[in-house]
Structure 1
């Protein structure tokens, strides 16, 4: 019995002296493995590809300088095609098969809402959501942290700007899912503050370009402006058909559109004048330390300078994950990372986020831009 107790005690001391043995999945002596599910194919595949490229550029830079306390960061990426069921399946796979330590940069309101059930039950943090849906933010989920402003923040900025210009006949074109409905709710709420209502509302299904009914409903109202809570392909088709119907309102849309993707889809001439709210720093200059860092990393590791809002969001998301891991200490656990994020502010190079146990909405930053004649995004 005495010998058994001695052996047990030695075993416990050995385990305590070797943190990797007791570490959460995804942590080894040399690596930290993270997971990401996003669309890399299908109509919205360009969004995921730009985010992934930005994130990988940051991690390549980080690993080249020694990683985090000697551990290199590895990112496992799975394609979900912006489909909810695939996102849920990918989440299970990343957690149970790939044994990731944490998740990052999930794309889409409805896919993330369903995946939340999986990663929350497993107590695996998701850091960075490419969604501003209110349903993902209130109440705060202990294991989900938002990097960008909400759709309510974006629509509030757009509506207040339009009304300030004397425009009060405003219609809404939205995607019929969590993303679009959240944006629609935001427009309605802010219009109500001005004692206004949408003059018309039309919708399109996710991953569809069937916008005919929406065009008919909205064109009938002859609005002064249309706020579009949609992605770039249906947005482009909607604008084309509205113009064919003789309608030339002020078109405004939200950050998920991807300015560079809309310009590529429509051409600079046709996209000229479209307003877009943005939730990330302007990626084409280097006035902020984070944009300068993004430029250098992309040029070094991706070998090009095709900067974009989605690219810099992926880059900033990766940096937030790294800073949280550093703050969690030499032997990080998932719970330590959650506590590190909730402990206060992070300055990521001029882009600041701040979390608390009761609030996981990191930022309310919104910037209003417009597309110029030459296809450039103007502030």
Structure 2
């Protein structure tokens, strides 16, 4: 099935290279429903706000941009099917703002990006295995390993040297656990305990009961929203007192909503971009202005900022590739040659593995449920 899709897409691509576009299509496959639908909707809102802002100024070389977003429901097979549709039926020139480790991994396995010589700019995953070899994916967020290194540095500085981990039992969680073990070893700190959860059950209680008996002073959580909520609630109920830290994979507002400010208070969360309300930074101010005009139904968030930045870089590649005369191959080349660029008080700098940012800062949920940064 996948081979047939690739073959058909390759034929379509060969026919479309170099021709004029009715408009310039930017394609996106992301979850718009299901457990992480809010994250996907945020990415989409940020991407759409930027595209509409560009169109309001005349587009690129007089050509309007069009964002086509398809819901993959966070399912890898859907991501591949959607990407095929975006390339063959929608004639997308570039792809942006995908979401998920398994979804992106399946897309890479399908070879659709290679066959079509198309760039994917920005995918919401920090998995190291997706960065180990060159591909047509251009990463604009730090890896989970980068986040973990930053968390461990902070833990060491706070004297919280006895660390445990709560993690998903799949690829995402095991990769994060390995990165934590490596960072702790580098800093001569012990991993005193570990507990996982089944990502089909999302039940954090067994792990919470186990880690509540641990001597850990800090626990790093490598988990999605529901098992995080389950774990924190059960861990505190079991008398656990360790400082809790999380990767950037949870939305703090959802965490506060599910747990309440009292239980959420004090949880540290790594972020891979500056605070989304810091309008002193030009690109964030630009996002706020664009969202007020074009996507007012969505509140600014880290996810809208990520979608906005991803799309701004993708559109810059289209400009550099010649705008109206660009094709997928020339846009891909523009991304490969992008290097260092200031996108408005925030710099991205792509290395040979297409890693454009390693920015990480730690935030913390305050007593009122707001984010301290």
Same topology, TM > 0.5: yes
2:345 is aligned with 1:350: yes
* Aligned 1:210-249 pairs, distance under 5 A: 210-249=203-242
Which position in structure 2 is the counterpart of 1:369? Answer: 363
Which position in structure 2 is the counterpart of 1:12? Answer: none
Which position in structure 2 is the counterpart of 1:251? Answer: 244
Which has the higher mean CA deviation after the structures are superposed, 298-307 or 342-351? 298-307
Structure 2: runs of 5 or more not aligned: 1-12
Q: 1:38 to 1:29 in 2, by over 3 A?
A: closer
Per-residue CA deviations over 1:242-271 (Å, capped at 9, x if unaligned) read: 011111211100112122222222222321
Per-residue CA deviations over 1:141-161 (Å, capped at 9, x if unaligned) read: 1x1100111111100000110
Query: RCO higher in 1 or 2 (8 Å CA, sep ≥ 6)?
Result: 2
Which position in structure 1 is the counterpart of 2:43? Answer: 51
What secondary structure, in the 3-state scheme, does the structure 1 residue paired with 2:69 have? strand
Which position in structure 1 is the counterpart of 2:67? Answer: 75
Choose from 86, 89, 96 the match for 2:81.
89
| In structure 2, distance between residues paired with 1:120 and 1:205 | 34
* Aligned 1:1-379 pairs, distance under 5 A: 24=16, 28-118=20-110, 119-141=113-135, 143-206=136-199, 208-303=201-296, 306-330=299-323, 331-343=325-337, 344-356=339-351, 358-379=352-373
Tell me the CA shift for residue 22 of structure 1. Answer: 8.6
What secondary structure, in the 3-state scheme, does the structure 2 residue paired with 1:58 have? helix
Please say if residues 110 and 177 of structure 1, whose CA atoms lie closer than 8 Å, have aligned partners that are also in contact: no
Which position in structure 1 is the counterpart of 2:6? Answer: none
What secondary structure, in the 3-state scheme, does the structure 2 residue paired with 1:199 have? strand
Which has the higher mean CA deviation after the structures are superposed, 192-201 or 247-256? 192-201
Tell me the CA shift for residue 97 of structure 1. Answer: 3.0
| In structure 2, distance between residues paired with 1:61 and 1:103 | 18
Which of 1 and 2 has greater Rg? 1
Please say if residues 24 and 101 of structure 1, whose CA atoms lie closer than 8 Å, have aligned partners that are also in contact: no
| In structure 1, distance between residues paired with 2:19 and 2:96 | 16
Per-residue CA deviations over 1:7-30 (Å, capped at 9, x if unaligned) read: xxxxxxxxxxxxxx9984697444
What secondary structure, in the 3-state scheme, does the structure 1 residue paired with 2:315 have? helix
TM-score by length of 1: 0.89
CA RMSD of aligned residues (A): 2.0
Structure 1: runs of 5 or more not aligned: 1-20
Per-residue CA deviations over 1:184-229 (Å, capped at 9, x if unaligned) read: 2221110001223321222223464222332233233242111011
Q: 1:55 to 1:170 in 2, by over 3 A?
A: same
What secondary structure, in the 3-state scheme, does the structure 1 residue paired with 2:70 have? strand
| In structure 1, distance between residues paired with 2:283 and 2:248 | 19
| In structure 1, distance between residues paired with 2:63 and 2:146 | 37
Which position in structure 2 is the counterpart of 1:17? Answer: none
| In structure 1, distance between residues paired with 2:314 and 2:259 | 35
Tell me the CA shift for residue 336 of structure 1. Answer: 1.7
| In structure 1, distance between residues paired with 2:116 and 2:322 | 22
Please say if residues 25 and 100 of structure 1, whose CA atoms lie closer than 8 Å, have aligned partners that are also in contact: no
TM-score by length of 2: 0.90
Which has the higher mean CA deviation after the structures are superposed, 53-62 or 209-218? 209-218
| In structure 1, distance between residues paired with 2:100 and 2:169 | 13
Count of residues in correspondence between the two structures:
357
Tell me the CA shift for residue 236 of structure 1. Answer: 1.3
Q: 1:194 to 1:298 in 2, by over 3 A?
A: same
Please say if residues 131 and 179 of structure 1, whose CA atoms lie closer than 8 Å, have aligned partners that are also in contact: no
